[in-house]
A = this chain, B = another copy of it.
Amino acid sequence: MAKPSTNSAPPAAKQSFDSLEQEVFLNLWRTYDRVKSLEDEVFAAVSLSAQQYNALRLLKSVYPNAMPTLVLGGRLISRAPDMTRLLDRLEKRGLLVRERRAENRRVVEVRITDEGRSLLNQIHDAVQQSHQKQFGHMSKKALCQLADLLRQARQPHEDADNLSFVDQ
Contact = CB atoms under 8 A, between A and B. Distances in A.
Given A138-B152, A143-B20, A149-B149, A78 B9 contact: no
Nearest to A161: B5
A155 B31 CA distance: 9
A85 to B, nearest CB: 19
Interface residues of A, number: 83
Nearest to A166: B3
Q: Chain A at the B interface: mostly helix, strand, loop or mixed?
A: helix
A119 interface: no
A97 interface: no
Given A13-B61, A14-B168, 19 more contacts: A2-B167, A3-B163, A5-B74, A5-B160, A5-B164, A7-B71, A10-B75, A10-B161, A14-B61, A21-B128, A25-B35, A27-B146, A28-B146, A29-B36, A29-B78, A35-B157, A134-B157, A142-B149, A146-B150
